[in-house]
Chain A
Amino acid sequence: MASFILRKAEPKDVSDILRLIKELAKFEEMEDQVILTEKDLLEDGFGDHPFYHCIVADVPKQHQSADSHVIIGFAMYYFTYDPWIGKLLYLEDFYVMKEFRGFGIGSEILKKLSQMAVRTRCSSMHFIVAEWNKPSIDFYKRRGASDLSLEEGWRLFKIDKQNLLKMTNEE
C-alpha cells in the first residue's frame, strides 16, 4: 500500500481519534479505563487553549480498513517542561491499526513529531511504555530511545481525583 498522508487533526476527526484511543487501550488491556468522550476531545483539543495536539494518518478511500475507516493511525502529544533542560515534547499516544503496519507509517509519524520537536527547540521527546510491551520497546530503542526508569530510577506516580479532593480539603 503506497499512499497515506499525515496531517494535523481537525475537529471532525475526534470520533476516529477516540476509536483509535480505545483500540490502543484495548491492546494495553486497559479499555475500561477510557472515560474520555468525543465532547471532551473537541473541547480540550480545539478550543482557545488546547491541552493536546494530534497528527492523524489518512489513507485514500480505496485503501480503507476492513471496517471502512480511512483514519488508520494517530499520535497525541503536548509540550511539557523540564526546569533543567527546558521544553520537551511528550508523546501521549501513538498507534497504527494492525492491518496498516509494516508500511512505514509509524516511522513517518515519529519522524514528523521529532521534526516538530527540533523545530520548536525541545530538548527531548518523552513517553511511557509498558515494560511487557517488547515490540514497542524494541521499536523505540532502535530509534535511540532510552529507558529512564531503568537507567536513572524514575518512577511515575499518580494521584486520582478522590485523593486530590481529600488533600485539598485537609487544608
Chain B
Amino acid sequence: MDFTIRAATLEDCKDISRMILELAEYEKVSDQVKITQRDLEQDGFSKNPFFHGIIAEVPEHHKSREGHTKVGYSLYFYTYSSWKGRAVYMEDLYVMPEFRGKDMGKALMSKVSQLGLAAGCTQLNFTVLDWNKSSLDFYLKQGCWDVTSDLGYHCMHCEGDALEHLAQGDL
C-alpha cells in the first residue's frame, strides 16, 4: 500500500489527538489523557516546541473505515545523555490497527532516527510496557535493547501533590 511519511503540521493536531486517544485506549489508560488538540497546537507548534511530530498518511482511496487518511504518527523530542550527549526520545509510535503489517511503524521510526542522526544524536530512547509483547518483539528486531532489563534502570516520577510538596520544601 502507498503511504507517505512527513513532518506534522498544526493542521494535523486534530488527527494526532484522535490517535493519541486510540493509543491510550490500546494501553488501557485512556482516562489519563488530559491533553487536548489545542494543547498540542500550543505545545508543539509555537516558537519553542516541546515536541515534534511525524505523520503516516495514505491516499484518499485507501482511507480508513471512518474516512481518515492520517493513519499513523510518532511524537519525539531531543534529550541529553550526560554520558554520550545529544539523544532523541520517541515518546509515541502508533499505526491504526487496520493499517498495520505494511511497514508504516518501521518507516515512522526510521524517519525519527534519520532526523535524530541529522541533529547529531547518538541514540534513540523510548519506553514500552512490559505486557506489550508485539511491540517488544518489533523493537528488539530493530536492534534495540532493554535498559531496564539489562542494566536495572527503573523509570521513576514525582508528580501532583508530591511535586508540590517538594517545591515547598516539605518532607
Residues of A within 8 A of B (CB): 21, 24-25, 30, 33-36, 40, 44, 51-52, 76, 78-88, 90, 92-93, 107, 110-111, 114-115, 117-118, 122-132, 137, 140, 142-150, 152-168, 170-171
How many contacting A-B pairs (Cβ < 8 A)? 251
Query: Interface SS of chain A: helix, strand, loop or mixed?
Result: mixed
Interface residue? B137 (CB, 8 A): no
Interface residue? B51 (CB, 8 A): yes
Interface residue? B61 (CB, 8 A): no
Q: In this complex, what residue of B is CB-closest to A133?
A: B152
Task: Collect the chain A residues with CB atoms within 8 Å of residue B131's CB.
Answer: 153
Task: Collect the chain B residues with CB atoms within 8 Å of residue A30's CB.
Answer: 83
Q: In this complex, what residue of A is CB-closest to B145?
A: A158
Q: A156-B153, A159-B123, A171-B107 are in contact. Are A34 and B128 (CB under 8 A)?
A: no
State in angstroms the CA–CA spacing of A146 and B160 once bound together. 12
Q: A21-B82, A128-B153 are in contact. Are A80 and B169 (CB under 8 A)?
A: no
Between A and B, 20 residue pairs with Cβ closer than 8 Å are A24-B82, A25-B83, A78-B80, A92-B80, A123-B159, A124-B163, A130-B154, A144-B161, A147-B156, A149-B156, A154-B155, A156-B126, A156-B148, A157-B127, A159-B113, A160-B123, A161-B122, A163-B144, A164-B113, A170-B110
State in angstroms the CA–CA spacing of A21 and B106 once bound together. 34
A149 touches B163 (CB 8 A): no
Task: Collect the chain B residues with CB atoms within 8 Å of residue A123's CB.
Answer: 159-160
- Central interface residue in A82, A140, A156, A157, by most chain B CB within 10 Å: A157
Q: A81-B51, A125-B159, A156-B153 are in contact. Are A93 and B82 (CB under 8 A)?
A: yes
8 further A-B pairs in the complex, CB-CB below 8 A; given A82-B91, A85-B35, A168-B113:
A25-B83, A35-B84, A78-B79, A84-B24, A92-B80, A124-B159, A158-B147, A168-B114
State in angstroms the CA–CA spacing of A88 and B129 once bound together. 19
Smallest CB–CB gap between A39 and chain B, Å? 10
Task: Collect the chain B residues with CB atoms within 8 Å of residue A142's CB.
Answer: 171
A140 touches B79 (CB 8 A): no
Q: In this complex, what residue of A is CB-closest to B5?
A: A171
Task: Collect the chain A residues with CB atoms within 8 Å of residue B51's CB.
Answer: 81, 83
A158 touches B144 (CB 8 A): yes
Proximity bits, B105-126, A CB within 8 Å = 1, else 0: 0110110011011000111111
Task: Collect the chain A residues with CB atoms within 8 Å of residue B139's CB.
Answer: 157, 159
Interface residue? B1 (CB, 8 A): no
Q: A140-B156, A165-B117, A167-B110 are in contact. Are A83 and B35 (CB under 8 A)?
A: yes
Task: Collect the chain B residues with CB atoms within 8 Å of residue A137's CB.
Answer: 156
B155 touches A124 (CB 8 A): no
Task: Collect the chain B residues with CB atoms within 8 Å of residue A170's CB.
Answer: 110
State in angstroms the CA–CA spacing of A115 and B166 once bound together. 8
A83 touches B40 (CB 8 A): yes
Interface residue? B41 (CB, 8 A): no
The 5 closest A-B pairs by CB, nearest first: A144-B162, A163-B143, A124-B159, A114-B166, A149-B154
A79 touches B50 (CB 8 A): yes
